[in-house]
């Protein structure tokens, strides 16, 4: 089960109302490489992991991503909270406003709602961990683009924190990948239907 | 949220963050005794810092894991997204 | 035996060698796997060499996939000589083929009964032997062709940690993982 801690992981700050920036930042809430996708991806992949290290890392990183989702939500909420209708129109957020007012919803920067097709759960642990390493890099790139777009130094500060976390998570997933390779004994020349590992002498022993 | 409460909460955030980092590290390095030692130390500091905070400002954790006083403080504002962390 | 890539340059290393040795030792003990396996991982390290970060290291030699000297049988990715090193005799290893549905061993050449795969860029026995000539015991041909199509991230070793406040502000407790957001130069006039 999960419990809630009544605090943010990072003291996220917003300098002033800025719906234009909110429109971009919201992609890390409900976009393809956002925190919701990251969290759900890891939490749903953990069931088919063969080694304890992988189950633990996916659970813990998936949980941390939920905390990041809350940080991004805090940024977006505070960026649009005090925006006037005129501000919202000027920022091009009127379409969003028509559907959601100033409520938080899982969309990308262009307003496309979140879909499960953003993530994958393939059942092959090596494949899944590669997916996660790629996901961390995609999120890192997104944060870099958001930092370029940001004209609020306080928001940039929080985006930088989240950017650094992607690097740490990538390192952990890389180590999990190494452990998986060891677990499989680096025997994976081919994995095919009808392939019987018992009949193949291991490569590295 | 007054300055003192923020200061205590920031201290908890710092400890929580260090514990999170060490936790992730230990997930892939479960035999690292130095990391484990540091994790245990941070974890203990974190628990006492939380207890100290909860005694004054109410529970940080829901579902019976936080410390509850004579009144139901869980519903008290501010919620995390409502705290203004800017100095000015 | 530590293998070297041909003409290998000094690779970018996240951690000091001694720390890496320790990390490997630790993992080895835990997994009770033979040391040889980790020797191979050292080779992998070189394959992930990062291009020029500091200005005085050059990129690791790239494996040219368009190289015409790639042998036609590159689907057999295991060099039998490598296996000998691991104490696996040739005859016990069935040419890295498949076991078909009837339990019969099928070489990847025979798979589908089509004979030699039709490699569209020429290259034959002569060129393959040219490559084999480059491959000394220290540089197995499998490595030249990038046999190890696996990603390897260098292990992190526990060292110094940042202060609690610095850790939260930077976003990591570990100084070796701290990176700087690349600053993009805006085009002039914007």
Residue to mutate among C173, C174, C177, with most B CBs inside 10 A, is C173
Q: Are C53 and C132 in the same domain?
A: yes
Q: Which residues in chain B have Cβ-Cβ distances shorter than 8 Å to C161?
A: 18, 38
C182 domain residue, yes or no: no
Task: Report the residue from B27, B29, B62 with minimal CB separation from A4.
Answer: B62
Q: Is A10 within a domain? A: no
High-pLDDT (> 90) share of chain C, %: 14
Q: Which residues of A150-177 are buried (b: 16+ CB within 10 A; e: fewer)?
A: bebebbbbbbbbbbbbbbbbbbbbbbbb
pLDDT value of position A185: 72
pLDDT at A182: 87
Residue B24 has pLDDT above 80, yes or no: yes
Residue among A8, A64, A168 minimizing CB distance to B80: A8
- Residue of chain A minimizing CA distance to C149: A189
Q: What percent of chain A has a predicted confidence (pLDDT) above 70?
A: 90
Q: Is the pLDDT of residue B85 over 70?
A: yes
pLDDT at A163: 97
- Do C20 and C60 belong together in one domain? yes
Residue A37 has pLDDT above 60, yes or no: yes
The pLDDT-based confidence of C15 (bands split at 50, 70, 90) is very low
Is C169 part of the contact surface with chain A (CB cutoff 8 Å)?
Answer: yes
CB pairs below 8 Å between B and C: how many? 36
pLDDT at residue A195 in the model: 52
Residue A43 lies in a domain: yes
Name the residue range of residue C101's domain. Answer: 75-118
Residue C178 in domain? no
Q: What is the mean pLDDT of residues A86-109?
A: 97
pLDDT for the residue C125: 54
Shortest Cα distance, chain C CAs vs residue A172, angstroms: 9
Does A84 fall in a domain?
yes
* pLDDT at residue C150, rounded to an integer: 75
Nearest CA in chain A to B23: A60
> Is the pLDDT at C2 greater than 50, yes or no?
no
Instruction: Please report the number of interchain residue pairs, chain A to chain B, with beta-carbon separation below 8 angstroms.
Output: 76
Averaged pLDDT, B6-31: 97
What integer pLDDT is reported at residue A67 of this predicted model? 98
Is residue C90 over pLDDT 90?
A: no
Mean pLDDT of A72-84: 98
Q: What is the pLDDT of residue A184?
A: 83
Q: Are residues C68 and C79 in the same domain?
A: no
Q: Does C83 touch chain A (CB under 8 A)?
A: yes
C152-190 pLDDT, tens digit per residue, is: 899 999 999 999 999 999 999 999 999 988 876 555 655
Q: Mean pLDDT of all residues in chain A?
A: 92
Instruction: Indicate if the pLDDT at residue A10 is higher than 70.
Output: yes
Mean pLDDT, chain B, as a whole number?
A: 95
Q: Domain residues for A123?
A: 19-199
Q: What is the mean pLDDT of chain C?
A: 55
Number of folded domains in chain A? 1
Question: What's the mean pLDDT in C105-120?
Answer: 53
- How is chain A classified by DSSP, letter by letter? ----BSS-SS-----S--HHHHHHHTHHHHSTTSHHHHHHHHHHHGGG-SSHHHHHHHHHHHHHHHHHHHHHHHHHHHHHTT--HHHHHHTT-HHHHHHHTT----B-TT-PBP-GGG----S-HHHHHHHHHHHHHHHHHHHHHHHHH---HHHHHHHHHHHHHHHHHHHHHHHHHHHHHHHTTT--S---TT--GGGS--S--
HSE toward the beta carbon, residue C172, CA cutoff 13 A? 21
Please state which of the ranges A116-130, B49-63, C20-34 shows the lowest mean pLDDT. C20-34
Enclosing H/E stretch for C18: helix C17-31
Looking at the structure of chain C, the number of domains it has is 2
Residues C6 and C97 in one domain: no
Q: What is the mean pLDDT of residues A13-42?
A: 98
Residue A111 sits in a domain whose CATH number is: 1.20.1260.10
Nearest CA in chain C to B36: C158
Q: Please name the residue of chain A whose CA is at the shortest distance from the CA of residue B60.
A: A6
Examine residue C134 and state whether it is found in any structural domain, yes or no: yes
A60 to chain B: closest CA residue: B24
Interface of C with B in 147-186 (CB under 8 A): 156, 158, 161, 164-165, 167-168, 172-174
DSSP 3-state of C42: helix
Chains touching C, CB cut-off 8 Å, 3+ pairs: A, B
Establish if B17 touches chain C: CB-CB under 8 angstroms: yes
Shared domain check, C114 and C130: no
């Amino acid at each position: 089960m999960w419990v809630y801690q009544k605090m943010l992981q990072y003291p996220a700050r917003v300098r002033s109302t800025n719906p234009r920036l909110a429109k971009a930042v919201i992609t890390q809430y409900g976009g393809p490489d956002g925190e919701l996708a990251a969290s759900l991806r890891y939490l749903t992949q953990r069931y088919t992991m063969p080694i304890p290290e992988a189950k633990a890392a996916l659970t813990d990183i998936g949980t941390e991503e939920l905390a990041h989702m809350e940080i991004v939500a805090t940024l977006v909420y505070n960026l649009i909270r005090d925006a006037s209708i005129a501000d919202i129109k000027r920022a091009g957020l009127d379409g969003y406003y028509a559907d959601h007012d100033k409520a938080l919803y899982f969309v990308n920067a262009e307003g496309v709602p979140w879909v499960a097709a953003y993530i994958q759960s393939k059942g092959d642990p090596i494949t899944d961990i590669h997916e996660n390493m790629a996901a961390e890099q995609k999120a890192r790139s997104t944060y870099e683009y958001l930092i370029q777009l940001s004209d609020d130094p306080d928001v940039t500060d929080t985006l930088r924190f989240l950017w650094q976390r992607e690097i740490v998570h990538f390192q952990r997933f890389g180590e999990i990948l190494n452990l998986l390779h060891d677990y499989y004994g680096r025997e994976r020349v081919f994995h095919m239907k009808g392939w019987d590992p018992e009949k193949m002498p291991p490569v590295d022993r | 949220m007054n300055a003192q409460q923020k200061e205590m909460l920031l201290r908890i955030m710092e400890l929580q963050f260090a514990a999170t980092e060490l936790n992730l590290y230990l997930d892939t390095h479960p035999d690292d005794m130095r990391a484990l030692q540091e994790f245990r130390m941070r974890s203990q500091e974190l628990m006492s810092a939380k207890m100290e905070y909860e005694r004054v400002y109410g529970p940080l954790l829901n579902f019976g894991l936080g410390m509850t006083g004579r009144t139901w403080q869980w519903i008290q504002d501010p919620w995390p997204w409502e705290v203004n962390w800017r100095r000015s | 035996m530590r293998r070297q890539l041909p003409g290998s340059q000094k690779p970018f290393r996240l951690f000091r060698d001694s720390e890496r040795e320790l990390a490997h030792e630790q993992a080895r003990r835990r997994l009770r796997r033979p040391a040889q396996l980790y020797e191979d991982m050292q080779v992998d390290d070189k394959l992930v060499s990062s291009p020029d970060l500091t200005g005085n290291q050059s990129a690791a030699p790239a494996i040219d996939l368009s190289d015409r000297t790639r042998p036609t049988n590159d689907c057999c990715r295991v060099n039998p000589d490598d296996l000998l090193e691991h104490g696996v005799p040739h005859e016990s290893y069935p040419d890295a083929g498949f076991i078909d549905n009837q339990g019969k061993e099928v070489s990847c050449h025979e798979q589908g009964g089509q004979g030699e795969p039709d490699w569209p860029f020429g290259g034959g026995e002569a060129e393959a032997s040219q490559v084999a000539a480059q491959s000394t015991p220290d540089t197995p041909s499998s490595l030249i062709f990038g046999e190890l199509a696996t990603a390897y991230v260098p292990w992190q070793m526990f060292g110094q940690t940042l202060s609690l406040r610095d850790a939260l502000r930077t976003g990591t407790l570990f100084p070796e993982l701290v990176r700087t957001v690349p600053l993009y130069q805006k085009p002039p006039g914007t």
